[in-house]
Amino acid sequence: MARLGVNIDHVATVRQARNTYEPDPVWAATLAELAGADGITVHLREDRRHIQERDVRLLRETVHVKLNLELACEAGVLEIACRLKPDQATLVPERREEVTTEGGLDVVANRQQVHDAVSQLRAAGIVVSLFIDPVAEQVEAAAASQAEAIELHTGCYALATGSRQAAELARLIEAGRLARQRGLILNAGHGLNYQNVGPVAAIAEMDELNIGHSIVARAVMVGMDRAVREMKALLSPIV
């Protein structure tokens, strides 16, 4: 059964809209954990548009499931990660003008930079995952970088419809198979929601799905507890 990492960035987005103290992502993490989340994920972006360093510090103290920090290969944020020691760090590409992370990390084109970041994080005792597109060359480069895990970018799958969606799912399955052959832990995420998560959760040896926007959006309407429990139920195989 795939585990559920709840990304709470957009709780912080609402807080930052008024530059105030509520809603606090720390509250959201506690509620998600109590509802059965297997992990809490946050992205400390360079522009600090939602999650702040203070949030990561408090989450490190209060989250008792896996804490996964998404970050770019950038010196300042790597230093924060090594100091605060999340359980896992997921390296992502970052562009200031993007609404959300738009593509996977290009490990092939940035081998040395990624390798150095992986080494720095692993030396601090942090498990490293690389957020990559479901492309064989990227999986091979991720394995060569000494990262322990990859997170397959499910954005194209999430946006596709009809036969195109089946083709995108096949790419995820193929890349996932290669990753497992190379000994990488297999994670996935981006754009997953209550309608499209099932087939991705069913991919063989899928370890963890990181899901943010759809859970936070539902939580606004029905509460965090129910939103997390409903997503958790969709990740369990029907017996």
Active-site residue list: 43, 70, 190
Q: Which stretch binds ligand PXP (CB under 6 A): 27-35, 138-146, 170-178, 209-217?
A: 209-217
Candidates 69, 92, 107, 185; binder of ligand PXP (CB under 6 A) is: 92
Residue 146: closest CA among 103, 182, 93, 105: 182
Candidates 3, 15, 43, 218; binder of ligand PXP (CB under 6 A) is: 43
Q: What share of the chain is helix, strand, coil (3-state, %, to 5)?
A: 50, 20, 35
Candidates 66, 177, 213, 229; binder of ligand PXP (CB under 6 A) is: 213
Per CB under 6 A, does 9 bind ligand PXP? Answer: yes
Number of residues this chain uses to bind ligand PXP (CB under 6 A): 19
Residue 129: closest CA among 1, 34, 3, 10: 3
Q: Which stretch binds ligand PXP (CB under 6 A): 55-63, 80-88, 174-182, 208-216?
A: 208-216
Candidates 2, 7, 67, 89; binder of ligand PXP (CB under 6 A) is: 7
Q: Which residues of 10-41 are buried (b: 16+ CB within 10 A; e: fewer)?
A: bbbbbbeeeeeeebbbbebbbbbbebbbbbbb
Single-letter residue type at 219? A
Q: How many residues does the chain have?
A: 239
Per CB under 6 A, does 212 bind ligand PXP? Answer: yes
Q: Which residues contact 204 (CB under 8 A, 6 or more apart)?
A: 173, 176, 177, 180
Residues 171-200 close enough to bind ligand PXP by CB under 6 A: 189-192
Q: Nearest to ligand PXP by Cβ — which residue?
A: 212
Q: Which residues bind ligand PXP (CB under 6 A)?
A: 7, 9, 43, 70, 90, 92, 100-101, 131, 151, 189-192, 210-214
